[in-house]
């Protein structure tokens, strides 16, 4: 099959890769849509050697073959694929029994991802798409699930004020998730006009730039000086500014959920969140909360015809054009928000 690899020198190259075979409990999925995640962009920048396996974890496709112990009725199902956790977990350890598959210490090692024609994963990691869902929406289930997980861990209560730091893909899905799960006011930062426009279209009441004190002033102005009840940090990176900003805009005894991935050592003065009695919650990927997987919650959200998350997909390319897709995703002057790779 064809698959795309980072070549170690700054480009994505399409070449041949062994056809996948389903083992016990596994299925082969013909990929229809794969999103380019910000983590794909950042990890490529950090790599010094070519990939051994194709990456890509925002995945949807059709089950075309099954291994032993999988019912034949699954063939032909349209699914979003939980590539990182459930699709690779052991399903036996303590974490798996709690439904926290991403924390499984015995997850299978790196294997073929979504920048390819086919992928193999365990049937437990496949979530059936709604009949009306498009392939573009199918590949949005994964980033939406990341934000659904964070909002649920943050204990959002109906009517609360939510601050979202950053309006990239995860920031935008956090806005959509918070609006769907009952937020009152939602305020967000954005660096680019298309992100600001998209944030408002998805349910943010207002946005502003990320620099200086502008965001804190906006939050205080709409909360009678208290601050946000729940803040979702979605930027991460190699600097601590957005984390400090999150503490600043959150009220006393409020909650801060960190979805962004930070690199290197961050110097943080913990006196502020301690003295404000804030709860700081890390959040990574997805899992079961109250017996319901975040992927299931996310798929269900698309049943609402007014849930128009698919508008964030601004650019679509074929697998052979994946280098152009990465260039477009990097360059926000193109107007890009979410770039996906689609296949027939």
The total number of structural domains that make up the chain:
2
Instruction: Give the integer Cα–Cα distance in Å for 164 and 245.
Output: 11
Integer CA distances (angstroms), 342 to 14, 114, 116, 316, in order: 14, 10, 10, 7
Q: What confidence category does residue 83 fall into, taking pLDDT thresholds of 50, 70 and 90?
A: very high
Residue 305 in tokens: 């015809």
Q: Are residues 171 and 132 in the same domain?
A: no
Tell me whether strands 26-35 and 206-208 are parallel, antiparallel or unpaired.
unpaired
pLDDT of residue 44: 60
**Residue 211 or residue 146, greater confidence:** 146
Q: The CATH number of the domain where 228 resides is what?
A: 3.40.50.720
pLDDT of residue 106: 94
Instruction: Give the integer Cα–Cα distance in Å for 338 and 65.
Output: 30
Q: Quick: pLDDT tens for 313-327.
A: 999 999 999 999 999
pLDDT of residue 108: 86
pLDDT of residue 99: 96
Q: Quick: pLDDT tens for 31-70.
A: 999 999 988 887 666 655 567 889 999 999 999 999 999 9
Residue 147 resides in a domain: no
Please report which helix (H) or strand (E) contains residue 64, including its range.
strand 58-66
Q: pTM of the full predicted structure?
A: 0.96
pLDDT of residue 41: 82
Q: CB of 8 within 8 A of CB of 49?
A: yes
- Which long-range contacts does 271-280 make (Cβ < 8 Å, 24+ apart)? 272/244, 272/247, 272/248, 273/247, 276/247, 276/250, 276/251, 276/252, 277/252, 277/253, 278/247, 278/250, 278/252, 278/253, 278/254, 279/253, 279/254, 279/255, 280/255, 280/256
Mean pLDDT (whole number) for 70-93: 95
Integer CA distances (angstroms), 312 to 38, 143, 169, 171, 337, in order: 14, 12, 8, 11, 6
Q: Are residues 25 and 115 in the same domain?
A: yes
Mean pLDDT (whole number) for 135-162: 98
Q: CB of 256 within 8 A of CB of 273?
A: yes
Q: Quick: pLDDT tens for 262-317.
A: 988 888 899 999 999 999 999 999 999 999 999 999 999 999 999 999 999 999 99
Chain centroid to CA 189: 18
Q: The CATH number of the domain where 16 resides is what?
A: 3.90.180.10
Q: Are residues 205 and 329 in the same domain?
A: no
Residue 148 resides in a domain: no
pLDDT of residue 45: 63
Q: Are residues 244 and 302 in the same domain?
A: no
Q: Which domain holds residue 161?
A: 155-282
Residue 149 resides in a domain: no
Q: CB of 177 within 8 A of CB of 149?
A: no
């Amino acid at each position: 099959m064809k698959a795309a690899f980072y070549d170690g020198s700054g480009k994505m190259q399409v070449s041949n890769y062994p056809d996948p075979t389903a083992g016990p409990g596994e299925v082969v999925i013909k990929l229809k849509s794969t999103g380019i995640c910000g983590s794909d962009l950042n990890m490529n920048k950090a790599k010094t050697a070519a990939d051994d396996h194709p990456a890509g974890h925002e995945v949807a496709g059709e089950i075309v073959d099954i291994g032993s112990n999988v019912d034949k009725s699954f063939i032909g199902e349209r699914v979003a694929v939980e590539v990182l956790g459930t699709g690779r977990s052991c399903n036996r350890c303590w974490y798996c029994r709690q439904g926290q598959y991403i924390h499984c210490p015995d997850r299978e090692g790196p294997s073929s991802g979504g920048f390819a024609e086919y992928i193999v994963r365990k049937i437990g990691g496949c979530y059936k798409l709604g009949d009306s869902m498009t392939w573009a929406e199918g590949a949005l289930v994964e980033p939406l699930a990341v934000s659904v997980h964070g909002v649920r861990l943050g204990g959002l209560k109906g009517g609360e004020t939510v601050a979202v730091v950053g309006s990239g893909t995860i920031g935008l899905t956090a806005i959509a998730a918070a609006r769907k799960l009952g937020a009152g006011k939602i305020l967000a930062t954005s660096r680019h006009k298309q992100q600001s426009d998209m944030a408002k279209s998805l349910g943010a009441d207002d946005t502003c730039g990320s620099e200086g004190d502008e965001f804190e002033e906006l939050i205080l102005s709409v909360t009678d000086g208290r601050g946000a009840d729940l803040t979702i940090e979605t930027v991460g990176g190699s600097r601590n500014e957005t984390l400090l900003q999150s503490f600043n805009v959150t009220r006393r005894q409020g909650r801060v959920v960190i979805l962004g991935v930070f690199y290197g050592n961050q110097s943080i003065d913990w006196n502020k969140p301690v003295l404000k009695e804030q709860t700081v919650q890390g959040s990574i990927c997805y899992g079961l909360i109250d017996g319901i997987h975040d992927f299931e919650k996310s798929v269900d959200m698309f049943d609402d015809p007014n849930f128009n998350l698919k508008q964030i997909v601004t650019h679509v390319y074929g697998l052979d054009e994946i280098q152009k897709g990465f260039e477009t995703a990097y360059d926000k002057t193109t107007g890009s928000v979410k770039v996906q790779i689609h296949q027939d």
